[in-house]
Homo-oligomer: A and B are copies of this chain.
Amino acid sequence: MKEIHDVLNNALVLIFNLVLKSEEKFIRNLGVNLSIAEIHTIDAIAKVEKKTMSEVASNLSITLGTLTASINNLEKKGYVERNRSQVDRRVVLVNITQRGEDVVEQHRAFHKEMIKDIVANLNTREELALVKALDNLIDYFMSKK
């Protein structure tokens, strides 16, 4: 089944790029002074339990140095704030501000709408095939570690 593999590969590559562009466009339309990386950083802070620099950096798979630079900017722009932990003064706790919360909310709404529209066009069989294929994909990557 050489052809179906090629079709799938092309579709996946295309979708990958379309998702990226779609998200870029969403941010542009948000009219907010943030990059995709910054939105994902804010989002990671929102969803991580222990809001330390280390935890957030590890969640994002970036180094602490990179996160420090990014948080400097986000703090300056008013989307997050830093506080020294009182328990261990080496530790820095990051929290998102109300302005940050708003962005997280809108980013999640974007994802929700995207998924809603995707599923809307699928019948039950297609939905199941998609879920199964995605499971395979995840298994595949997980096994590759």
Considering only CB atoms, which chain B residue lies closest to A120 in the complex?
A: B136
Q: Which chain A residues in 1-45 approach chain B with CB under 8 Å?
A: 1, 4-5, 7-9, 11-19, 21-22, 25
- Taking the closest CB of chain B, its distance from the CB of A35, in whole angstroms, is 16
Is A90 located at the chain interface by the 8 A CB criterion? no
Complex contact A137–B8 (CB within 8 A): no
Is A48 located at the chain interface by the 8 A CB criterion? no
Complex contact B132–A126 (CB within 8 A): yes
Instruction: Please indicate the chain B residues that have their CB under 8 angstroms from the CB of A13 in the complex.
Output: 111
Is chain A's interface secondary structure helix, strand, loop, or mixed overall? Answer: helix
Is A112 located at the chain interface by the 8 A CB criterion? yes
Instruction: Please indicate the chain B residues that have their CB under 8 angstroms from the CB of A112 in the complex.
Output: 5, 9
Q: Which residues of A contact B (CB under 8 A)?
A: 1, 4-5, 7-9, 11-19, 21-22, 25, 61, 111-112, 114-122, 125-142, 144
Q: Which 7 A-B residue pairs are closest in the complex by CB-CB distance?
A: A129-B129, A18-B141, A11-B134, A121-B136, A130-B133, A117-B140, A126-B133
